[in-house]
């Protein structure tokens, strides 16, 4: 079974500052992928960043970076230099190599509000 936990239901961040969104996971799969998605108020799901369980380095994509700590089973998203357009819901998700139906399992999400 796969489980994703996001413990922060909501948070404020000042514009231009960095923010860390927490994500912990649980799986018995030997190989898995971790993903972060952004859902702005317009509703679409936007893929942000991916981390493979065997990747040696933390993933980065522009202002997004993933702080992957395998032993702690955590995959926190760091958004640097926050912008007003970063205000959105953020979802952590995972897919194990043995996931039934190749499904992505999502956490409950964290709502981020960037203050000017």
Residues forming the site for other proteins (CB under 8 A)? 29, 31-33, 35, 37, 39, 43-45, 47, 50, 52, 89, 91, 95-97, 99-106, 108-109
CB atoms within 10 A of CB 71: 5
Say what the alpha-carbon torsion angle 35, 11, 73, 81 is, to the nearest 10 degrees. 60
Q: How far is the CB of 86 from other proteins (least distance, A)?
A: 17
Closer to other proteins by CB, 39 or 67: give it.
Answer: 39
Locate 13 and state its tokens.
Answer: 């961040």
Q: How far is the CB of 55 from other proteins (least distance, A)?
A: 9
Closer to other proteins by CB, 101 or 116: give it.
Answer: 101
Alpha-helix runs per DSSP H in 2-110:
none
Q: How far is the CB of 16 from other proteins (least distance, A)?
A: 27
The CA distance from 67 to 34, in Å, is 11
């Amino acid at each position: 079974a796969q489980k994703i936990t996001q413990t922060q239901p909501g948070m404020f961040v000042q514009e231009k500052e960095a923010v860390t969104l927490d994500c912990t996971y649980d799986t018995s799969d030997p190989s898995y992928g971790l993903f972060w998605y952004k859902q702005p108020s317009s509703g679409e799901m936007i893929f942000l960043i991916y981390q493979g369980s065997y990747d040696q380095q933390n993933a980065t994509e522009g202002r997004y970076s993933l702080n992957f700590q395998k032993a702690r089973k955590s995959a926190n998203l760091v958004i640097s230099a926050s912008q007003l357009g970063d205000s959105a819901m953020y979802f952590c998700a995972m897919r194990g190599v043995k996931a039934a139906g190749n499904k992505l399992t999502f956490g409950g999400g964290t709502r981020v509000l960037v203050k000017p």
